[in-house]
Structure 1
């Protein structure tokens, strides 16, 4: 009975805590739109993205979070290396011209496909990545690492938004622009050896 009760409490926390984090975080993001001068709709969407990743991280673990950070690094590095030559194939259903929107979509599509594929392989090879010995710290570690993943993901979505003419004004006026550009600069620096001295514009076009 004790084992069953403990399992049920643990399962309940896996659902309740992320749900509470998601609800409070989303309310905070939406509330900031009305309370913080200069907040754009794009800012709110990106804040919610960060909240969702952090909440999901609580359901994960420290090791799983570390693996996800590593796999995201590999996925984004490969995407930054190949998104330009792949762009014509991404845009083929929409015409022959490779527009700025297609370039942004090419990066996001490559990064997402590679990351999801690597995550599937990782989870198949390492099915149990939990550390029961450290208790709640395992979940908190996952939360922190997925929070970092959320911030990086938000910065990449922000950069892609700048490629869309319809979103460029909102991108340029975004409250989070300085912060997310610093994240993009850090990502670019960490991946610089991939690019042989020629950093991808996806990371750098808004940094000057």
Structure 2
């Protein structure tokens, strides 16, 4: 019985190595600060075609999220990040910043099912001021090298990468970076 448990453990470790090797090969290098962000063209849950040029002239907080895997442990950080995105959008949207969510498609779901799940997500979280784009096939996420979700990128008004964060980020961390570029939010002005 103990030998069988060791065999299962070794098999899981081997599978983890194979899987991480596959992800590593698919993922490209993370864009460096100061470099032009990889281009993309995605459809929003509202049916609009959105690309990098859509937000030229604005600072963009691009958030790669995975909140529809039906696994609460995997989804929790991305779902929690939504609250921070809503907060900074409310504070800095009037200063020329736009939060944008790029949603990871559900594993095993069709494109229509993923789009419907993200549309429901947008409605449930009341994300009207924040566009939600669905990254079918995860191509854009891989172009950005965003392996861990959530993964956020701050882009300047020219579309260059200013900063990035891996994992869940509290509002004050995002606000600090935005305040350095855009000034204090409206409610903090004298």
Which structure dedicates a bigger proportion of its chain to strand?
A: 2
- The alignment's TM-score, normalised by the length of structure 1, stands at 0.28
User: Normalising by structure 2, what TM-score?
Assistant: 0.30
Structure (1 or 2) with the greater helix fraction: 1
Asked which structure has the greater CA Rg, the reply is: 1
